[in-house]
Structure 1
Amino acid sequence: GGALGTGGTAPAAPESLPAAPGTVPVALALPARGIGAPIVAVGTDPDGGLVVPDPPSTVGWWAPGALAGSGSGTVVLAGHVDSRVEGLGVFAVLPELAAGEPVWVRGRDGRVIEYEVVARRQFAKAQLPAELFARDGAPRLVLITCGGRFDRSTRSYADNVVVYAVPAPAPTPAHR
């Protein structure tokens, strides 16, 4: 669904450029915002919901998904928008991210994989698209947090804010 559908096939990469292996993501940076956070591996709870690490200063990487920098699949990162005790979370800024903003993910191997925001969507929590968790398809990064109306009785937000990013184009070498 949406502008980022899974239809069609991407052109194959030239044979002379083998796809770089992916790496376990360990840190996230939103350089235009001066924001950084550690990343920890997470899974799903018994109901199939994405587990989000408790401190809002930490981001969770859905470990069954793609590795950062791999040639295909979705790297899913999730974080709390805020916490009653600890205040605003790293992902409180997601509703403000604009197309073209950089998102950097540092891997366990020390590489920094650069992504670029391409879209932002808001979904009712029960309607988070399954395609966000695709293990195949073009490489992309998805950032997920809570949003929408806050229900004081359930202490929960009604929606999820989802930011889509794709690998940033390689910089052209500077001419000497």
Structure 2
Amino acid sequence: MRRWPLRVATGAGLACLVAGGALLFTGPGPADFGAAPAASARPAPAVPTDGTPSAVPPVVVGTVPVELALPGRGVLAPVVPVGTAPGGSMVIPDPPSTVGWWAPGPLAGSATGVAVLAGHVDTAADGLGVLAVLREVGPGEEVVVRGADGRELRYVVAARREYRKADLPLDLFTGDGPPGLVLITCGGAFDPATGHYQDNVVVHAVPV
């Protein structure tokens, strides 16, 4: 199982809100809900012992995500591939209207592993980000990811968690386990000394 030494939105130029901007989110967020899907790998399929050939499961091919929608929240945003900054953080696209897909991880719609999408909650220059709504989403809300191949992959929200940035689980960035989608933005109190929010809001969604 791969593990990646990542944090979200840390380091100069990667803060969810740069110093001098409006403090849009301070204090604790809403209560967590749902059970975050386990990151452990699926068990291997049983092997027939009677000599009969087993059915070959269909090949599930992932796709590069190019657009994210939360229809119930009026969110429609482009998605661009991003990597890892020298300090070990996931790079976040500067415009808060754009979402980053962590390209070293699984493709959207892959048979295993979660695709990780992250974006700014806001910026001083451009205001509120499209993922600011993550603090408000509830269980069962629809999430749609459009792939570069034209497919629309549909998910439903299963859980939301808020973590101190230092406590963000590394299992979110593994390539193993059941398929799914993780959306991340900043939350919690804003620290004017560092120009960062203290927490990350993480929403887990499962395919339908």
Q: Which has the larger radius of gyration?
A: 2
Is residue 39 from structure 1 mapped to residue 72 from structure 2 by the alignment? no
Which consecutive residues of structure 1, in runs of 5 or more, have no partner in the other structure? 169-176
Which 4+ stretches in 1 moved above 4 angstroms?
A: none
Identity %: 59
Q: Distance in 2 between matches of 1:20 and 1:82?
A: 35
| Runs of 5+ unmatched residues, structure 2 | 1-34, 46-53
Residue number in structure 1 paired with 2:158: 118
Q: For residues 7 and 38 of structure 1, what CA distance do their matches in structure 2 show?
A: 30
Q: Which amino acid aligns with 2:180?
A: R
**Counterpart AA for 1:44:** T
**CA deviations over 1:20-64 (Å, ceiling 9, x no partner):** 210000000001111100000000111211100000000000001
Amino acid in the other structure paired with 1:69: G
Q: TM-score, normalised by structure 2?
A: 0.76
Partner of 1:174: none
Counterpart residue type for residue 78 of structure 2: P
Deviation at 1:143, TM superposition (A): 0.3
Cα deviation for residue 114 of structure 1 reads 0.4
Structure 1 distance, partners of 2:40, 2:196, is 34
Cα-Cα RMSD? 1.7
- Counterparts of 2:62 and 2:147 in 1: how far apart (Å)? 8
Report what 2:196 is aligned to. Answer: 156
Q: Which SS does the other structure have where 1:158 is aligned?
A: strand
Q: Deviations over 1:133-158 (max 9, x none)?
A: 01011001000000000011211100
CA contact 2:121–2:130 (8 Å) conserved in 1:
yes
Structural mapping, 1:15-164, within 5 Å: 15=55, 17-164=57-204
Partner of residue 26, structure 2? none
- The CA deviation at 1:16 is 5.6
> What letter matches 2:105 in structure 1?
G
Q: How many matched pairs?
A: 166
By percentage of residues, which structure has more strand? 1
Per chain length, whose mean CA-contact separation is higher, i.e. which structure has more relative contact order (CA < 8 Å, sep 6+)?
A: 2
Contact 1:149 1:159 survives alignment (8 Å):
yes
CA–CA distance in 1 between the matches of 2:130 and 2:44?
Answer: 35
